[in-house]
Structure 1
Amino acid sequence: MHILLHDFAGHPFQAELSRVLARRGHRVTHAWFAGDTGPKGRMARTEGDADTLAFLPAGQDLRYSKTDFLRRRAGDIAYGQELGQAICAMKPDVVISGNTPTEAQEGIQRACRQTGTPFIYWCQDFYSVAASRLLARKLPGPGHLIGGYYRFLERRQMRRASRVLHITESFRAQTDAWGIPRERVSVIPNWGALDEIGVLDRNTAWAQANGLGPGTRFLYSGTLAMKHNPELLAGLARAVTAGDQVVLVSAGVGADGLAARAADGTLPGMRVLPLQPFEVFPQVLASGDILLAVIEREAGTFSVPSKILSYLCAGRPIVLAAPGDNLAAQILRETGAGQVVEPEDTEGFAAAAQAFRDDPAARQAAGAAGRAYAEAHFDLERVADKFETLFSEARNGL
């Protein structure tokens, strides 16, 4: 079949799924927002890829802003219209779309309805619920109304979808509350790019090229957006001893603020570097001794930091600031692959990271536990089997 797989964020693991599906004989068009600054997978054909695989960069000419609400909304609408036009032109057999702003998703789903194409809503998080909580806090009054509008749209999109795909069973409670029939809801957990991210020595070529010192490296990789609290990383940078470094490989408003403070000497323990291409991403992760992740409480229940799945593949201990009911937090606690603190616990975050620094045996055990979990759960062939079943059910109206 012809599958259009759309991942607004451009994550590595979803690009690898498209590659496997294409190798199985499907025609796969992998679309993503090319104007986004976040970390990306291999978004181009490489040696060994099937001839039936194509990449569709969308939104390259958009004047997009993640800090200006009106410009961001206009960009989301324009993006959905652009991808909707592509869907109408190519008429794929099935469309699956995830990580997508609500109003962008609206245009994509509208095109599928016009062409009679089965549409699968890939629920990586409840975008409207997280946005509602953030807006209510930042814009009391108007934020509630705007959030209500987004919840209306997302609920309607799920009700109209051929299938809804969750990444965790815990998301079912929300679709149950929204009246989505359970027989149209499936669950396939996310995975990390296990075959691409190995356990490497810390002194990688990337670490040497960037002059990372011999001290302990606390590494954060990924965007720092509205749903991330940069003060957790700043607090750790203030707490580290001489010779140790908090290495931030990032982009976004939070990263920009931390970079300015590192440059003026306010955070001498921090080093800020730009996001890196996926080709060196395994080296980036291996360069860290302890890997860091943060997510705000308002977003944490319905958002699972995908970076955690890559961190597990890298075989390094993880310190995560997130609500206790977050899926990533549950994985770390159950496997022993890292430590979890509450999203507001700046002191606890720094203490957990420093505890790993001071206990090499604990670092090794946590890293090994994470890698073992990845090897047991991130079999991409088995994942692809589940997606093929899902696509067939959507096409057949099951």
Structure 2
Amino acid sequence: MADMAAFAAADGAAVRVFTARPHYPVGNAFPGYDEGGHDHEQIDGVTITRVSPWLPGKRGALGRIISESAFLAKGLAALLSGRLKRGKIVITLCPSILTVLLGLFATRRGGRHVAVIHDIQSGLASGLGMVNIGIVVRMMRWLEKIVLNRTDLILVLSEAMRKQLTSQGVRTRAEILPIWVDTEFIKPLPKPKSMDAPVVLYSGNLGKKQSLDQVIEMARHLRRRNLPARVVIRGAGSQGTELSARAEYEGLDNVEFRPLVNSEDLPAALGEGDVLLVPQNDQIADFAVPSKIFAIMAAGRPFIAAAPSGSLLWKLGDKSRSHLCVPAGDAEALADAVETLINDPDLRRTLGGNGRAYAVTHHERKVVLSRFMDLVNEDRKRSGAEVSGGHYLVFEPDARGHAAEWVKHLIAHVRKNPVPARITFTLPRALEKEIGGDLPRSVRLDFLDDSETARCTHPQLIVSAFARWWAMRRALERSHATHGLFLGIDHASFPLALGLPAGGRTVSGIMFRPTTHYRTAGWCRPTMKERLRDLRKDIILRLLTRRRAVSRIFSLDPYFPDYAARSYKHGHKVVPLADPAYPLAPPGPEERAIAERLPDERTVFLMFGEITARKGILQLTEALTLLPRDTARRTCVVVAGRIDPEIRVRVTKAFGTILRRQPDLKVFVVDRRLAAGEITALVERCDVVLAPYQRFVGSSGVLLWAAQLRRPVISQEYGLVGKLTRNFGLGLAVDTSDAGALAHAIEAAGSRGSNLPFNPVGVARFLWSHSPEAFSAALLSDDGMSPREDSNLVTMIAV
């Protein structure tokens, strides 16, 4: 489901996933998810809502039915409360038929419901002996028939599964969509040199479906034959304790049990095995396909399938020449096959190479998921719902901050992925030199005059708001564009909410700073001033989303769209948009000059970007005066960026005070806008990035720079910045309005920032969803520009 959702989002869809907290196959919610800290988040451009699962203490058919019924009940409650919105395209993932039933309720009238079937539940329950009461099995098959016949399309893994559903009376069209694998991520890797003995590896769920008794019996045969091989069983599941006890009881010292690895470590984990095992219960071959085989093939490893003769795994072996097959349940034949492969490295290499080639050709992720999207969208394509052509205008009057970077991303996307539309960028004249030059044929630049730019960037928000609305309207009329995109709609939201016309065109825009959800999300305790601000924003957003001329609001806060969908009648117009990480360019020799002046023996703290009072520079200078003398002696602080002229004198005086009170502290101040290469060099050189913002709302590109170069941050605990820092393990979030707390955090960072919390896996997850390509594709897609309300909203449901 994760791959499907990410691929659909990259394809331009606004994807929302409703699911349970991850718990399979260990039987309890994963660490970090059990407290509900990730119940609302955005990953790879996908908005995810999770609910707590009901997990039985003892696994079995009854416990599973209750667990899946509880998920259905929570899904229905979410529908009633508006937490889960009914959609025009709904995709459900089954092994649980109750998930598909929830999908029926979640599909709008005239919508399209696609059920992805990876397991046929009634067949598994009967074949594995989980349900031995005939009437219960018949009821399960009846429910499967009734529910699946009310879907619009069924996607199954094999022809055998399609025939099985037909035999149960399912008449809905079923298409075969094979399991996919990311062959760019999972590649053949060498076995670690420290592992001398041959390794026979099973990795996956330890359940009845896998029939792992035969693996334990196989290990007994291998031990009798004195074959110097380790049998490694890596995984978790209902049979884990029983299997481990049996191996210990029989004295099988050649068997080793290990926990599952993180998905990021899967390629290396597969590379540890010389021979891999794919055992299958002989009663369920027509009801399920083991997905692990394609990861094994992509890793270039040979495997042995223990499955019924004539089953999919045997047929796949004939076609791919990637593995050996033995009858399911025949442990001695399995041992024979293992011995054959262990003693024949050439055969192992041949089978592994064949498997890799077959996976790349037939099961590559992009190929399979492209067909998936074609099947999901086929009704829309037949009805001509896809929009092409047109003339779009992108409006940004402020040359500071993100403007140049984002415009470059959009132009680069058009150059790489030509769109069937003309695009005009209306920009301040100050960006002409930086943006101009060789442009794609479909792109033209239009510049505001100096007086327009001055009004649009006026310090009085009411002035800049109406100026931006008027400048956008004039630019639309001047260019004859059919749609206008504000790269920052916050400032223009008030006149748009009032219903002031956009010249008969539609508009959309990026919202930087939604805050109305902060209090309900429990992120902060708002002041009275902030309560009044949020009340004003709430009224404006309700009116703004009601405007027919407003087709989309792209939220840089990934947690806001779910709140908007629940709180506003037209909240579905609010969709998540990941702030793009700036591609790191290698700094040149001149751009390294500042970084090379910094002392090697000290811990370097870096604050960079536009240096304003809201960014916390004054609190930082006060905190530096409070550092203990021995900490100051080991510390270097760099402030690099243009200092706001309104506070420049105060900042200069503050640094003078620091020099008098902390003579041992090294301080470097660079008061100008830095080139991208200079920022890269400084972040590479520093140990900790400082983001001591003062109740700053919205996200920050500083977090992305730090994450890309794997540097921990000390950030404010307030709002989205604090939420992202905590949730993804980017560093330490503290009350940066308290100079003492900020000083304590700097002191506690330790040598090179080694004491700060920093989660490499969380940082990687944070970066995955912030690519410039996904950002540009979302903004420039037909769905992003067109006024078709929620026609590209895809809802995915999986237990």
TM-score range, shorter-chain basis?
A: 0.7 to 0.9
Distance in 2, Cα, partners of 1:61 & 1:134: 24
Distance in 1, Cα, partners of 2:379 & 2:171: 14
Tell me the SS of whatever aligns to 1:28: strand
Does the alignment pair 1:226 with 2:205? no
Tell me the SS of whatever aligns to 2:276: strand
Q: Confirm or deny: 8 A CA contact 2:191 2:271 kept in the other structure.
A: yes
Q: Which residue of 2 aligns with 1:165?
A: 155
Q: Which amino acid aligns with 1:102?
A: I
Q: 1:329 to 1:99 in 2, by over 3 A?
A: farther
Does the alignment pair 1:260 with 2:250? no
Q: Confirm or deny: 8 A CA contact 1:35 1:64 kept in the other structure.
A: no
Q: Confirm or deny: 8 A CA contact 1:78 1:104 kept in the other structure.
A: no
Q: Which residue of 1 aligns with 2:61?
A: 69
Does the alignment pair 1:194 with 2:189? no
Q: Which amino acid aligns with 1:250?
A: G
Q: Which residue of 1 aligns with 2:217?
A: 235
Q: Which residue of 1 aligns with 2:47?
A: 54
Q: Which amino acid aligns with 1:95?
A: V
Q: Which residue of 1 aligns with 2:610?
A: none
Distance in 2, Cα, partners of 1:29 & 1:350: 46
Q: Which amino acid aligns with 1:28?
A: V
Structure 2 gaps of 5+ residues are: 384-799
Does the alignment pair 1:90 with 2:85? yes
Match of 2:370 among 362, 385, 391: 385
Q: 1:35 to 1:161 in 2, by over 3 A?
A: same
Deviates more, 1:282-291 or 1:24-33: 24-33
Structure 1 gaps of 5+ residues are: 1-13
Deviation string, structure 1 residues 242-293 (Cα, Å, up to 9, x no partner): 6420001111132222222344562211000111110111111110000101
Match of 1:277 among 262, 273, 276: 262
Distance in 1, Cα, partners of 2:58 & 2:303: 28
Q: Which amino acid aligns with 2:69?
A: I
Tell me the SS of whatever aligns to 2:147: helix
Deviation string, structure 1 residues 25-82 (Cα, Å, up to 9, x no partner): 1112345443533389xx99xxx964x3223434x34133562332221111011222
Q: Confirm or deny: 8 A CA contact 1:22 1:28 kept in the other structure.
A: yes
Tell me the SS of whatever aligns to 1:94: strand
Q: Confirm or deny: 8 A CA contact 1:81 1:104 kept in the other structure.
A: no
Q: Which residue of 2 aligns with 1:78?
A: 70
Deviation string, structure 1 residues 192-232 (Cα, Å, up to 9, x no partner): 2222211001118xxx6xxxx41110000100212222221
Q: Confirm or deny: 8 A CA contact 1:132 1:150 kept in the other structure.
A: no
Distance in 2, Cα, partners of 1:23 & 1:113: 22
Q: Which amino acid aligns with 1:55?
A: I
Distance in 2, Cα, partners of 1:335 & 1:148: 37
Match of 2:135 among 141, 145, 152: 145
Distance in 2, Cα, partners of 1:395 & 1:66: 45
Match of 1:99 among 80, 94, 98: 94
Distance in 2, Cα, partners of 1:155 & 1:134: 21
Does the alignment pair 1:26 with 2:13? yes
Q: Confirm or deny: 8 A CA contact 1:297 1:343 kept in the other structure.
A: yes
Paired positions, count:
365
Q: Which amino acid aligns with 1:323?
A: P
Q: Which residue of 1 aligns with 2:548?
A: none
Q: Confirm or deny: 8 A CA contact 2:125 2:131 kept in the other structure.
A: no
Write the mapping of 1:208-219 to structure 2, written as runs, cut at 5 A. Answer: 213-219=195-201
Deviates more, 1:64-73 or 1:118-127: 64-73
Tell me the SS of whatever aligns to 1:90: coil
Work out which of the two has the higher radius of gyration on C-alpha atoms and give 1 or 2.
2
Q: Confirm or deny: 8 A CA contact 2:164 2:286 kept in the other structure.
A: no
CA shift, 1:144, in A, is 1.2
Q: Which residue of 1 aligns with 2:729?
A: none
Q: Which residue of 2 aligns with 1:8?
A: none
Q: Which residue of 2 aligns with 1:109?
A: 103
Q: Which amino acid aligns with 1:148?
A: R
Q: 1:32 to 1:249 in 2, by over 3 A?
A: farther
Tell me the SS of whatever aligns to 2:210: coil
Q: Which amino acid aligns with 1:186?
A: E
Does the alignment pair 1:350 with 2:335? yes
Does the alignment pair 1:300 with 2:289? no
Distance in 2, Cα, partners of 1:112 & 1:105: 10
Q: Confirm or deny: 8 A CA contact 1:98 1:121 kept in the other structure.
A: yes
Q: 1:93 to 1:169 in 2, by over 3 A?
A: same
Q: Which amino acid aligns with 1:172?
A: R
Q: Which amino acid aligns with 1:36?
A: H
Q: 1:192 to 1:116 in 2, by over 3 A?
A: same
Tell me the SS of whatever aligns to 1:152: helix
Q: Which residue of 2 aligns with 1:3?
A: none
TM-score, normalised to structure 1's length? 0.83
Q: Which residue of 1 aligns with 2:126?
A: 132
Identity %: 25
Distance in 2, Cα, partners of 1:20 & 1:113: 21
Q: Which residue of 2 aligns with 1:320?
A: 305
CA shift, 1:114, in A, is 6.9
Q: 1:281 to 1:83 in 2, by over 3 A?
A: farther
CA shift, 1:350, in A, is 1.1
Match of 2:116 among 114, 122, 134: 122
Q: 1:251 to 1:116 in 2, by over 3 A?
A: farther
Match of 1:375 among 326, 341, 360: 360
Deviates more, 1:309-318 or 1:71-80: 71-80
Q: Which amino acid aligns with 2:74?
A: E
Distance in 2, Cα, partners of 1:316 & 1:244: 16
Deviation string, structure 1 residues 363-385 (Cα, Å, up to 9, x no partner): 11000000010111123333233
Q: 1:392 to 1:242 in 2, by over 3 A?
A: closer
Distance in 1, Cα, partners of 2:2 & 2:314: 25
Distance in 1, Cα, partners of 2:350 & 2:236: 31
Does the alignment pair 1:244 with 2:229? yes
Q: 1:132 to 1:339 in 2, by over 3 A?
A: same
Deviates more, 1:161-170 or 1:65-74: 65-74
Distance in 1, Cα, partners of 2:381 & 2:119: 26
Q: 1:62 to 1:243 in 2, by over 3 A?
A: same
Q: Confirm or deny: 8 A CA contact 2:303 2:323 kept in the other structure.
A: yes
CA shift, 1:103, in A, is 3.4
Does the alignment pair 1:16 with 2:3? yes
Deviation string, structure 1 residues 345-371 (Cα, Å, up to 9, x no partner): 111111111110011111110000000
Distance in 2, Cα, partners of 1:371 & 1:146: 42
Q: Confirm or deny: 8 A CA contact 2:95 2:120 kept in the other structure.
A: no
Tell me the SS of whatever aligns to 2:208: coil
CA shift, 1:162, in A, is 1.2
Q: Confirm or deny: 8 A CA contact 1:249 1:275 kept in the other structure.
A: yes
Q: Confirm or deny: 8 A CA contact 1:73 1:103 kept in the other structure.
A: no
Q: Confirm or deny: 8 A CA contact 2:216 2:247 kept in the other structure.
A: no
